[in-house]
Amino acid sequence: MKYLDQIKRTSTISELSQEIASIFKSFEDDDYIPAIIEEGNYTADQGEDFYLKLVLKHQSVEIDGTWLKNNLEFHLEEPTNYDNTMNNGAFIHNVITNRKYKSRNLYQLNPLLTSEEINEYEYTNSNHVSAFYNDEYSNVQGLPVLKSTNYQKLLILKKIFNDYINDPKSNIYPKFELVAEFEYRTHNGHIKKTKSDIYRSSDAYIKIDRGESSVSILGSIKVPLYKGNSKRNSRNIQVLDLKDLKPRMHNSSHYNGDTIEGFICFKPEVLNILKEYYYFYDLQMIDKSNIENSYLVDVLGDKIVFWEAEYNKLPTLVKGKIDPFNFVPEDKKGIISEAMSSMQLEVDWNWDKKLSPEYLLANLIRERAFNRAIDISLTFIEPKHKDDLKDFILKIEQLTGIKLERFNTSADDVKRLLSIRQGGTLEEPVDLKLLYQKYCYAIQMEYKNEPNK
């Protein structure tokens, strides 16, 4: 009974109001705030309980009463009454409403507050709709809109309100504000009697109803939306500034490749993580869940390099997995490949001519047959084992129709490739990377002369 215990320590309505406001202050650095609080057990003879819900109220509407909206109510109202006076109810909305689903009542975000960033998934046995908020570049599931814990009836993601709550003095609209509506019933006499049963302030309206042995308090209190520290989005990684290649801290607000650009280096092991989410083609990796999303990336022998703006577009989930592999190379010469430098820094239209053999082939396939390529999960990552190269050869042959038998089968490299394709053993150690690159070069030379099917 966390909140009930706090309320029982108050003795005046002003203190009670401050205590309820402090509930939301305590979530200042959290991504969520309470949407519904439900504690205690009250009967006519004994006990106490506390219930709280959130509403969104337009700033132009004054709080001149309490419980501005009935609990979980959702319907559209006319902005004017029959006598042409303003109907305040049309500008006040419950944050949480109900939805019927297979004879169950589920909590849901008010449909008026939904946006394109919110996606719903198959409902579970939870007490609320399974909706997730994603405002990232990538098509990931995102954060739950609503969630419950052992101590919280229902929490709501703060980001939901980003498009609705704006500074009253700014020229950004719309201008709503959060109001916590609550009911507190008790047989405890800790709240002192006052001359009036109504408590008013610029931010609250509270009504007290006293019985012989009980007190019932209804109230509506404005509560601020604490958006927390904007620096929280910065990652604990080192960035090599483009100007001087000196390490600096990460700039999380950088997305457009402007003059503050830099490089973020990772150890080669991150490929094992990234390949789960992305296809690799020439100088980019492409999101498996949404091929419209791509990221510039330089895969080098001793490191994987992102431009800072490209790294910032990665999903938080992926960043969290790869950040531990961030490092600053001792040798900062050749921090990116010649092809990447040519494309991004020199703006050379012929940058692709400087690609390595495997990426020349990747570039050609991406232009000609990308959809068919990803249908068979073809990706361009240097093989570490014979089985990796075998899988790659089989996919290339399936895609292009160019079999190894087209080449000089008496050549040693072709013999090695044939043996690998057939799952055989090699009589001597082989440089798989070099063999992979030679194979890609040969396929690329043949494929570019094939009719574009």
What percentage of the chain reaches a pLDDT higher than 70? 97
What percentage of the chain reaches a pLDDT higher than 90? 66
What ranges in 203-288 are assigned the alpha helix state H? 271-274
What are the domain boundaries of the chain?
A: 2-228, 356-453
- State pLDDT tens for residues 31-71: 999 999 999 999 988 999 999 999 999 999 999 999 999 99
Mean pLDDT of all residues in 287-298: 92
CA neighbor of 309 nearest in space, from 295, 321, 319, 329: 295
For residue 20, count CB atoms less than 10 angstroms from its CB and return exposed for 0-12, middle for 13-18, buried for 19 or more.
buried
For residue 391, count CB atoms less than 10 angstroms from its CB and return exposed for 0-12, middle for 13-18, buried for 19 or more.
middle
Q: H-helix or E-strand containing 445?
A: helix 432-447
> What spatial distance separates the first Cα and last Cα of the chain, rounded to whole Å?
69
Task: For residue 198, list its beta bridge partners.
Answer: 207
Contact 74, 94 (CB under 8 A): yes
Q: Phi-psi category of 373—alpha, beta or left, where left has phi over 0 and alpha has psi -120 to 50?
A: alpha
Confidence band of 319 (pLDDT split at 50, 70, 90): very high
Q: What is the pLDDT of residue 108?
A: 95
Report whether pLDDT(453) > 70.
no
134-171: burial string, b at 16+ Cβ within 10 Å, e else = bebbbbbebbbbbbbeeebbbbbbbbbbeebbbeeeee
Q: What is the pLDDT of residue 17?
A: 92
Report whether pLDDT(342) > 70.
yes
Q: How far is CA 384 from the centre of its chain?
A: 33
Contact 54, 179 (CB under 8 A): yes
Q: How many CB atoms lie within 10 A of CB 118?
A: 18
Q: How many CB atoms lie within 10 A of CB 184?
A: 27
Rounded to whole angstroms, the Cα distance separating 261 from 304 reads 17
Report whether pLDDT(212) > 70.
yes
Task: For residue 47, list its beta bridge partners.
Answer: 42
Task: For residue 133, list its beta bridge partners.
Answer: 118, 143
Window from 116-130, 194-208, 357-371, 404-418 with minimum mean pLDDT = 116-130
Window from 24-33, 188-197, 276-285, 329-338 with minimum mean pLDDT = 188-197
Q: Beta strand 304-307 with 143-144: parallel, antiparallel or unpaired?
A: unpaired
Q: What is the pLDDT of residue 230?
A: 46
Task: For residue 210, list its beta bridge partners.
Answer: 215
Q: What is the pLDDT of residue 271?
A: 96
Rounded to whole angstroms, the Cα distance separating 7 from 10 reads 5
Q: What is the pLDDT of residue 256?
A: 62
Report whether pLDDT(257) > 70.
no
Mean pLDDT of all residues in 94-103: 90
Window from 81-85, 284-288, 319-323, 386-390 with minimum mean pLDDT = 81-85
Report yes or no on whether pTM surpasses 0.75: no
- State pLDDT tens for residues 3-30: 999 998 999 998 999 999 999 999 988 9
Q: Which two tokens stand for residue 300?
A: 């080098």
CA neighbor of 57 nearest in space, from 196, 205, 256, 185: 205
- DSSP 8-state assignment for residue 3: H
- Which amino acid belongs to residue 392? F
Report whether pLDDT(267) > 60.
yes
Report whether pLDDT(263) > 80.
yes
Average pLDDT score over the chain? 90
Q: What is the pLDDT of residue 90?
A: 87
Report whether pLDDT(166) > 90.
no
| 285 vs 44, more confident | 285
Q: What is the pLDDT of residue 232?
A: 53
